[in-house]
Structure 1
């Protein structure tokens, strides 16, 4: 009789025990959005919706007429500045130095002539043949000749000494700035061809060839094929048992064997009504979004497929 009573109690307890609740979710993949870098016309579309692409594949091209012209302009500016720098580094040509030396010789001859004229004027002034004004004019002519000789000599010295280091440094800085401008123009040109950074499936292609798009508008939407995960709503009662790195069972309809998932992230805020607006009974009904990475067996599950998640015992 005791055994029958104990068996009945166990059956009652077993019947009253509720199974572990399950969380519901669906398979998700990272979404990649490629936007228009400029206001431009679509020149070429290289893929279509549903097509699988690999990392580095070109998806779409915008018209590059303006970008090509801007690059050519920057390259011409760079070439001009580089030529100026080369000229400064090389210094004066032999012909320029020879011309400067000839100018110095001419200036010396003019000084000699002015000196002779001044001496002659002084002698005639003393004999009262010429006036004081004539003497002053002769002195002014001599001073002018001396000044021109000094100027010619300085020009020759400048050519012979070469370009100042400060000028060369300025020219080199201008070359660096022009090279940066060319790099920016090249980057702007390359950006007109949209390239995928990782393997994926083309999900959205809202435009056609010939459409003029606005900067920042979506041109291509991709779903990454790598690293699918489950986005599930977990109840608040699970929070003390579900943390980043925790293992869970993922149940797939039609499969007898469950998959193993690893919790990647749990949102700190509930998905619905804020925590502080609920009483103790209602707080147990709060749901929190969690992202759960799938194991190798779940890598091929289709995006959007509904799943169930349960805690490991």
Structure 2
């Protein structure tokens, strides 16, 4: 073989070696990783009204179950308000029942008697008026006497008309508009009772779900203002990893993508799934991948941790992204 042939073979071997090396490097290139923090849903309970703490049933770090009482505020004022609303409701119901039942027999009889008395008064004053009129013509009585008799007769007639109207009102019963007003009054009073019951209930704080008491800065006897945070809980039902995903990886990492979580001290990763990726970019954290990636947009991403894993809240770990 001449020298030219040997040179060609050598160059071919060299190129083959270079290409093989590059392919080997590409195959052994590590998957990119981002740092994340283990988090749990935070539950914050605040004071509905300004009041005094009268009991605290838990301590920081304690595990609580859904529905468990955590602490209570003084219910004295709320109990008084609830009693007032109950009384107003009872009064409104009694008024409605009275209107629905209509007038009693005794009330109608009393109105009939008043009408009969008014009718008798009219007859008497009418006779007195006629006598006064005849005596005035004979000059026995004066014009003033006649005027008084006339006024007495007119007053008696007016009182008879009033008695007649009162009797008619009782006999005709309650008007539809009055019943509607009374019904509306009952509904309004019932709504007020419901509000008072809710305000009373809000004085006893209970856990909405299984959780761990994270912060409890108050003590029995402390007076707190309305809206003050009384206790903070960390839910135990679900833990997740929150990471900042570079924008360049949005086409590879989607909701449902399987990723690996690397925890310090463990030889094997934890298989996890991407649950949510924010649609709007967030500020880039200082611990982003590297200086180049810090200048890029980052998207806040939540990754669900399997329920079989019990990782501490706040733990830092690495998330291996798929190639």
Do the two structures share a fold, i.e. TM-score over 0.5? yes
The equivalences for 1:1-313 within 5 A come to: 6-15=16-25, 18-253=29-264, 254-266=266-278, 268-272=280-284, 285-298=296-309, 300-313=310-323
Contact 2:244 2:284 in 1 (8 A): no
TM-score relative to the length of structure 2 = 0.85
2:289 alignment partner in structure 1 = none
Give structure 1 stretches of 5+ with no counterpart: 274-280
Corresponding residue pairs, total? 305
SS at match of 2:58: coil
Is 2:136–2:146's contact at 8 Å kept on the other side of the alignment? yes
Contact map agreement 2:211 2:236 (CA 8 A) in 1? yes
Going from structure 1 to structure 2, the CA distance change for 1:138 and 1:236 (only over 3 Å counts) comes to closer
Contact 2:261 2:269 in 1 (8 A): no
Deviation of 1:233 (Å) = 2.5
**Aligned-residue RMSD, C-alpha:** 2.5
Taking structure 1 as the reference length, what is the TM-score of the superposition?
0.87
In the other structure, the counterpart of 1:277 is none
Q: Deviations over 1:254-297 (max 9, x none)?
A: 14243122241235223239xxxxxxx67765543311122344
Where does the alignment leave 5 or more consecutive residues of structure 2 unmatched?
1-9, 286-291
Larger displacement relative to structure 2 (234-243 or 6-15): 6-15
Moved more, 43-52 or 13-22: 13-22
